[in-house]
Structure 1
Amino acid sequence: MPSAIKDAKPTGCFTVDSFVASTTTAGEVVRSISKNGGCFLRGLVDRESLDVMIKEVKPYLDADVPWEGEFFPKETRRVNGLPTKSPTYTEKVLMNPLFVEVSNQLLTTRSSSWVGGKEEHYTSLPQLNSTSVLAIGPGARPQGLHRDDILHHTKLSKITADQYTTDRDTALGIFLAASQTTVANGATRFIPGSHLDNSSFGPGDESKAVYAEMNPGDAFLMLASCFHGGSANTTTDQTRMLFGSFMCRGYLRQEENQFLANPIDEVKKMSEPIQRMIGYSVSSPYCGWVDLKDPISFVRDVTVGYSDL
């Protein structure tokens, strides 16, 4: 039996499950996401760690200016480039073992090819696609529902939940509540099951949307092929603060250019798993090399010679 807790949200033939982050398994989460498009991980981050994350990003939030286009309401403040701006977020969320394993199960790509008379087998692990903090202030209008997988020009046909396979999606998002997140103050809304629809069509009836209401430290996971968007903040005194990131397949171009977003001197201080996760690695068989070498040698004190990547 899955360890989903009682506040699962039914919507049509879909149920948006909630799991206790400390007791669930990656397999349970992957099965839930494959069917519904997203799920909740309750209590992913403790209050003390969350307070540190907020402290780390506050100077950048305070320095941000209103967005000039239509995508974000002017009341929203943003921070990007989180691996170096919030090391605590990077360790507690992006490198959380449960999230890493869910990402690996949904976004690892395996393939094979012939080199002469020998068949070679390759495995490309996920990489960090984008990072952000979004603080929606009072009076903000709702964001239009959209799919983030348009970044990679994804074209999907309509399928049923039992036809879903883990080679369908290009990216997986995680949204961590840094404040109480409610319908009134702008909770992310998404349409369960929209990852199964034909990507040529729009979101349709918004009454099918589920709102990602969370306590601080809760997280919401969602496939990038799902229709979603921030909601209106109808309060007069609440700011909804959310940490959001996407992982994508290792051979795809990253939405946020991690190599410029994170100063190289700070990257060199990171652990090797984090360095590789943000892109300083080769996607098997040989995507991402520098001078025909694994780029990890440019941020770590290791010697990498010329060899088959």
Structure 2
Amino acid sequence: MSTKNLHLFDTFEKDGKKFARIPKHTINAGTSPKYSDLVVKDKSDFKAIVEKLELYGLCVVKHYLEPETCEHIKKELEPHYFRHQEWNGSPFPKETTVVTRAALASPTCMDKIALDDTFYKVSYHFMSESNVFWIGDGKLRRSETDVQLYSSIIYRVGAGAGDQMYHREDMALHNAHPRREKYHYGDDVQVGLAVALTPMNKTNGATRAIIGSHLWGPLDGPYEFDPQRELYLELEEGDGTFMLGSTYHAASSNHSDADRIGAFFFMSKTYLRQEENYHADMEPAFFENMSFKALKILGLHTSLPFCGHIGYRSPAFVLNPKLKEASQAGKGNYTEVIYPVFE
């Protein structure tokens, strides 16, 4: 009986070094897209956003936030920037500082980005699952997964910072993508939303991405690709970019004399572990008065049927018992009961 191959390639050693045998493959053949092909002018145009993510792995949305909102976010974030000397260029150059768990550090980040309806709707569209389970009474139960905030990090790329290395955001979740000719639902476990808090351009370190790399296989790395498919995500303050976790991207060198600041928020499936822990060092009182929507996005609700429970209760309802009565999510562990008919 065959099982899933947990190892993607064979290795061998020579002269004290380890090598991998990786088959060579031509990738990204065909017409290269233009930057304008990625752009949607209205964040409410859900259909266009989905279509561009399916085709390119990316979608730029103009005027996602008002510049005034971006300025307010930056003021809230200012006391929270840090860097660790031991990074030493990995994962970030010494000129870059960050704010991690920005959804907790900035109330406006929480409200305008993490809880944004379009961000949620797009993430849910690409990642939600509906599965059916047999239970011993002869009936089936259906449960739907939801999405949660995987990470919320602000990157302040300082003058003189060098290029970041290309990577897929979902590498921490060991998501190995089959090579595809066209987009296949079920492959992605992350959807991101980047918002420019300052203008982002080729001079000051805009994120660059390889268009179409969301269709690459696990060994189709960014070592050889059509250079016309590398695009810089040049954004005005308040512009946003949706990105699938499978798309290769990286920050670029900052050749200007000013900081480039971008907010990068990623959602994941609720049954997967979050990159950032939003809970362990926070007092329960911090969460007690949050809405059910906020607690759910922060991963403080069960992923149906009961993943992440506390004594078979949702953590959200432990923190605030009143929410259970107000929320339909408190009515049970399954979306519905299904009676089978055998034919």
Q: What is the TM-score of this pair, normalised by structure 2?
A: 0.81
Shift in CA distance, 87/251, structure 1 to aligned 2, threshold 3 Å:
same
2:92: which partner in 1? 72
Structure 1 residues 264 and 189: CA distance shift in structure 2, 3 A: farther
Partner of residue 309 from structure 2, selected from 285, 289, 292? 289
Q: 1:58-97 to 2 correspondence within 5 Å?
A: 58-61=78-81, 63-66=82-85, 67-97=87-117
RMSD: 2.1
Matched, 1:34 2:54: yes
Q: Distance in 2 between matches of 1:258 and 1:213?
A: 31
Inter-CA distance 156–233: structure 2 relative to 1 (3 Å threshold): same
| Amino acid in structure 1 at the alignment position of 2:215 | L
- Asked which structure has the greater CA Rg, the reply is 2
State whether residues 147 and 228 of structure 1, in contact with CA within 8 Å, keep that contact through their aligned partners in structure 2. yes
Q: Is the 8 A contact 2:292 2:323 kept in 1?
A: no
CA contact (8 A) 2:316 2:323 kept: no
Report the equivalent of 2:152.
131
1:171 match: 190
Matching residue of 1:256:
276
Distance, in Å, in 1 between the alignment partners of 2:123 and 2:97 is 27
Q: Is the 8 A contact 1:126 1:248 kept in 2?
A: yes
Q: What is the 5 A alignment of 1:293-308?
A: 293-302=313-322
| Counterpart among 157, 169, 174 of residue 153 in structure 1 | 174
**Which amino acid counterpart does residue 280 of structure 1 have in structure 2?**
L
CA distance in 1, matches of 2:303, 2:180: 29
Which residue number corresponds to residue 219 of structure 1?
240
SS at 2:322's partner residue?
Answer: coil
Take 1:287 and 1:150, find their aligned partners in 2: how far apart are those partners? 23
- Do the aligned partners of residues 69 and 250 (structure 1) sit closer, same or farther apart at CA in structure 2, a change above 3 Å counting? same
Question: Where do 5+ consecutive residues of structure 2 fail to align?
Answer: 1-29, 334-343
Alignment equivalent of 1:193, drawn from 203, 207, 212: 212
> How far apart, in 1, do the equivalents of 2:281 and 2:116 lie?
22
Taking the aligned partners of 1:216 and 1:256, their CA distance within structure 2 comes to 26
Residues of 1 paired with 2:309 and 2:88: CA distance? 37
- The CA deviation at 1:212 is 0.8
Distance in 2 of aligned mates of 1:128 and 1:263: 19
For 2:21, the equivalent position in structure 1 comes to none
In structure 2, which of residues 267, 270, 291 is the aligned counterpart of residue 247 of structure 1? 267
Shift of 1:98: 1.3
Q: Which moved more, 1:258-267 or 1:289-298?
A: 258-267
| 1:184 matches 2:203 | yes
Name whichever of 133-142 and 25-34 sits farther off: 25-34
Question: 1:266 Cα shift?
Answer: 2.3
The TM-score with structure 1 as length reference comes to: 0.89
**Pair 1:104-2:124 in alignment:** yes
Q: Partners in 1 of 2:243 and 2:197 — Cα distance?
A: 17
Q: Deviations over 1:68-125 (max 9, x none)?
A: 3522011000001122211111111121221111111111111111112112111011
Which of 230, 248, 260 in structure 2 is aligned with 1:209?
Answer: 230
Question: Is the aligned partner of 1:54 residue 2:74?
Answer: yes
Task: Letter of the 2:292 partner, please give it.
Answer: E
Shift of 1:65: 4.6
The runs of 5 or more residues in structure 1 that have no matched partner are 1-10
Identity level (%): 28
